[in-house]
A and B are shown apart, each in its own frame.
Chain A
Amino acid sequence: MLETRYLLVGSSHAALEALAAIRMHDAEGSVLLATRDTAPPYSPTVLPYVVSGKSDPNRVRLRSDDFCEAQKVTLRSGSALASLDTAAQMARFADGTEVRYERLLLATGATPAIPKIAGLTRVQYHVLRTLDDAVRLREALGRARRAVVLGGGLVGMHAAENLVHARTETTIIEMQPQVLPGYFDAQAASLISGAFAERGTRVLCGQSVVSVAPRESGFALKLLGGERVEGDLLLIAAGVRPTIGYLSGAGVATGDGVLVDRRMRTSASNVWAAGDVAQAESFLQGGRRVNGILPNAVEQGRIAGMDMAGDPGARDYRGGVPINTYHFFGRQALSVGVDSLEGCETHVQVDEAAGRYRKIVLKDGRLAGIFSIDLPFDAGVMVELVLRGTDLAPVKQAFLENPRDTARALMSRLWR
């Protein structure tokens, strides 16, 4: 049996940031970083670029070789958490190893959600969450002629663009009436799917798959409306679920993910959770939500780490804000906040011909959301304006006309 002061499970953004925060305050306390993956730490966000070949899989590591030594941390890779006894403060791993911890962070992220489709077990399909997934998909890409991407979320759209570049005939099937739901409204989404359509991609929204069957060289999908779609490469990108299987019977309260308070503490004592696995306070929408984006994983990881180490500088989590920086075919789509709230006012500006779009959502004179295509702004500055609830009334006109520069000037003053 191993013993450690801090046990961090996962080796991605949330866990690494927590580690950095712990080391800021506690230079010596023993840290064990245990992760299911066998590769050195990397980010799932980089994977579409590994698939496209833009990123070399050997150059995506988030930490250098000497980081374990420098941070005085023991790394156990290829080590999946299997179950937890929170009363005994004991973690059991798939290989049988038991670790007694004083403080535990669950940063196991999310796992692709696999929809219930008749016949799915009889065909080969891909997902994209790990480096292995990416390398496999990259290989398959070279061979594929007709691809089907199930899901028009971020992962699906990124993968679809790679397929387009690889000259593969591609169909995107999305259940919602638009692509990228939750980040862009219908109007912006149609500009984005338009760019795909222009390049010959079929984008089928409001459609779901009822069954799939193997064909001689691939598969055939049957849609709810009766249409059949054939292909030889199937990517399932129908959303993700927090990775919490190891929690069954552990007595840690869960909803969609692991429920945490503003310090990322779970219902069990000495157990924290952060990142895609956690269900934390939402800033604009109220209640607790899983907000599976990278900046949130970092922010939550930091708060958890500080709190675990007893750093007096620890602050409460201000709440998650949906954020997205998405680029497609060299164009930019940015989204911060929510695109409607009760009692909000909305200002939309569209230039169909140029494909430019911007929407600003204000609530009580404060920023609740801003979205754009090819009208760039600084997402970090906007998030800060949202979180601070900065009153935009004095600069409203200027903000609506030129949100980027107005926000920059405002932030510059607020920081001084």
Chain B
Amino acid sequence: MAAYETIAFDAARCTGCGDCMSACAQEKTGGFDHAASRIQILPAANDGFELALCRQCGDPGCVSVCPAAALEKDAASGVVRWDETKCIDCLLCTVGCVYAGIAYDERTGRVAKCDLCGGDPACVKACGEGALRHVKSAQIYNRYGELEDLFVPGLAGCQGCNTELLIRHVLRAVGPETVVAAPPGCIPGMGTVGYNGKTGTKVPVFHPLLTNTASMLAGVRRTYKRKGRDVTALALAGDGGTADVGFQSLSGAAERGEEILYVCVDNEGYMNTGMQRSGCTPYGAWTSTTPVGERSHGKTQEAKNLPLLMVMHRCAYVATASTAFMEDLYDKLARAIEASKRGFAYLHIYSPCTSGWRFPSQANIEVARKAVETGFVVLWDYTPDAGLRFTRPIDDLRAVDEYLEAVGKYRHLDAAQVAHIQAQLEKDLGLLKELAVRGAQAEARALA
């Protein structure tokens, strides 16, 4: 079954300006009467705005109750289509919908609903506040859904863990001509390297020591290359194995320009061994080795900025990514795969940990999204030619509290600690901005 595009609404960003309704009315009727708009923005009871819009449901209630077969879910586009020649105006569809997504239009005497404007919704284009987004990540799922899943079924991550999803998709994208190195950590812990003499992947996989992932992969890649085979050398490693224990071999391989695709899944600690701190654990975070009590209030040092360290190795490609921004992630994955044929490609993916960070298992993507929206995590990429560029705007960041409040490991923070974190984020951002400016200048020079 295909996945579909959708329109997402962020109530916190909506100012109620009505531009989306004008745009919809204009597109559908040629006028500007908001009553004719298929998207309805409504003032909320206390404050802010709410939305009535067709969800293009997977199992649409309006279709089930239509007696005239005038509504149908289009299997290709996902749009719930209304056939005006079959419709008998009985309004039963408005009974079947609990979102007011299909509603009676007094001017025409018929029902009206959103049809996503054939894939280019006018309302989204008109929204200057970022409250409406046209989410196209479905394309990714459709494309990747057709590729073979190179992991076996039944990996055993914790409830709500996004790492399994992540590594399955990465390996699909990388393809079968691959050797995977999965050093100790959650990724082998969930069964990727296998049990009882059977591997968890359909491609060769090995379980290096924490210390030698990059050097072993360097040898694997070189050996195949010498034999004339283009095999991707892929590391799927955690932040501990990358930033701390494995750093020496990583740094060496990057400096030598080994042709490796190194994916670091950063869950900010040694999660599978009992949630100990790592070099990537942020300031203030609770871990089992930075406990919270009378005297200790979480980690007292800053996290090291590993992706920036990799920039300083002048890798062929370095990028940060988040599972909440899949289009961005997939774009970077494609670039990283390409770069790994020429040199060292490093992808740093922030991966919230439901068990170790202490938040409800259904909130993983939301936590990941908030991290980016508050600037706690910044999405950028780097190549030696173009330098560093932001792949998501950083001008309109939300207060970091919004992120910290969503994660249990920060629950104990006092105001001073939060202020400390905010100040440090600003410093880090300043540095990134400077690098981005230099990158832009370098690119301008290269073009000139």
Give the number of chain A interface residues (Cβ < 8 Å): 45
Interface residues of B in 70-92 (CB under 8 A from A): 86, 88-92
Q: Which residues of B contact A327 (CB under 8 A)?
A: 89-91
- Interface contact A408-B88, CB-CB below 8 Å: no
- Interface contact B52-A408, CB-CB below 8 Å: yes
- Given known A-B contacts A379-B95, A398-B45, A408-B100, A294 and B65 have beta carbons under 8 A apart: yes
- Interface contact B67-A43, CB-CB below 8 Å: yes
Q: Which residues of B contact A330 (CB under 8 A)?
A: 109
Interface residues of A in 302-333 (CB under 8 A from B): 302, 323, 325, 327, 330, 332
- Interface contact B100-A378, CB-CB below 8 Å: yes
Q: Which residues of B contact A59 (CB under 8 A)?
A: 69, 86
Q: Which residues of B contact A61 (CB under 8 A)?
A: 69
- Interface contact A412-B95, CB-CB below 8 Å: no
- Given known A-B contacts A46-B88, A376-B106, A411-B99, A298 and B50 have beta carbons under 8 A apart: no
Q: Which residues of B contact A378 (CB under 8 A)?
A: 52, 94, 97, 100, 103
Check: B61 CB closer than 8 A to any chain A CB: yes
Contact with B along A373-416 (1 / 0, CB 8 A): 00010111101100000000011001000000111111111011
Check: A112 CB closer than 8 A to any chain B CB: no
Of B61, B65, B86, B92, the contact of A55 (CB 8 Å cutoff): B86
**Given the complex of chains A and B, what is the CA–CA distance between A408 and B45 in angstroms?**
11
- Interface contact A408-B68, CB-CB below 8 Å: no
Check: A17 CB closer than 8 A to any chain B CB: yes
Q: Which residues of B contact A46 (CB under 8 A)?
A: 67-68, 88
Stretch from B36-44, B190-198, B237-245 contacting the other chain: B36-44
Interface residues of A in 349-387 (CB under 8 A from B): 376, 378-381, 383-384
Q: Which residues of B contact A332 (CB under 8 A)?
A: 91, 104
Task: List the A residue with the shortest CB-CB distance to B64.
Answer: A298
Of A62, A381, A411, the contact of B69 (CB 8 Å cutoff): A62
Interface residues of A in 281-302 (CB under 8 A from B): 294-295, 298, 302
Nearest CB of chain A from residue B36's CB, rounded to whole Å = 14
- Given known A-B contacts A55-B86, A332-B104, A412 and B92 have beta carbons under 8 A apart: no
Of B42, B68, B98, the contact of A380 (CB 8 Å cutoff): B98
Nearest CB of chain A from residue B227's CB, rounded to whole Å = 46
**Given the complex of chains A and B, what is the CA–CA distance between A410 and B45 in angstroms?**
7
Check: A45 CB closer than 8 A to any chain B CB: yes
Nearest CB of chain B from residue A28's CB, rounded to whole Å = 17
Q: Which residues of A contact B95 (CB under 8 A)?
A: 295, 323, 325, 379-380, 383
Task: List the A residue with the shortest CB-CB distance to B85.
Answer: A59
- Interface contact B96-A408, CB-CB below 8 Å: no
Nearest CB of chain A from residue B61's CB, rounded to whole Å = 7
- Given known A-B contacts A409-B42, A413-B44, A295 and B90 have beta carbons under 8 A apart: no
Q: Which residues of B contact A45 (CB under 8 A)?
A: 67-68, 90, 92
**Given the complex of chains A and B, what is the CA–CA distance between A323 and B61 in angstroms?**
15
Check: B51 CB closer than 8 A to any chain A CB: yes
Q: Which residues of A contact B50 (CB under 8 A)?
A: 408-410, 412-413
Contact with B along A33-66 (1 / 0, CB 8 A): 0000000000111100100001100011110000
Q: Which residues of A contact B44 (CB under 8 A)?
A: 409, 412-413
**Given the complex of chains A and B, what is the CA–CA distance between A379 and B97 in angstroms?**
8
Check: B435 CB closer than 8 A to any chain A CB: no
Check: A106 CB closer than 8 A to any chain B CB: no
Check: A7 CB closer than 8 A to any chain B CB: no
**Given the complex of chains A and B, what is the CA–CA distance between A161 and B226 in angstroms?**
85
Check: A271 CB closer than 8 A to any chain B CB: no
**Given the complex of chains A and B, what is the CA–CA distance between A55 and B68 in angstroms?**
8
Check: A334 CB closer than 8 A to any chain B CB: yes
Of B51, B68, B100, the contact of A49 (CB 8 Å cutoff): B68
- Interface contact B88-A49, CB-CB below 8 Å: yes
Q: Which residues of B contact A376 (CB under 8 A)?
A: 103-104, 106
- Interface contact A54-B61, CB-CB below 8 Å: no
Residues of A within 8 A of B (CB): 13, 17, 20, 43-46, 49, 54-55, 59-62, 294-295, 298, 302, 323, 325, 327, 330, 332, 334, 376, 378-381, 383-384, 394-395, 398, 405-413, 415-416
A to B CB contacts below 8 Å, 9 in the list: A46-B67, A294-B65, A325-B91, A380-B95, A380-B99, A381-B100, A405-B40, A408-B52, A416-B11
9 extra interface residue pairs, beta carbon distance < 8 Å, beyond A411-B98, A413-B45: A20-B64, A49-B88, A378-B97, A405-B43, A408-B42, A409-B42, A410-B45, A412-B99, A415-B98
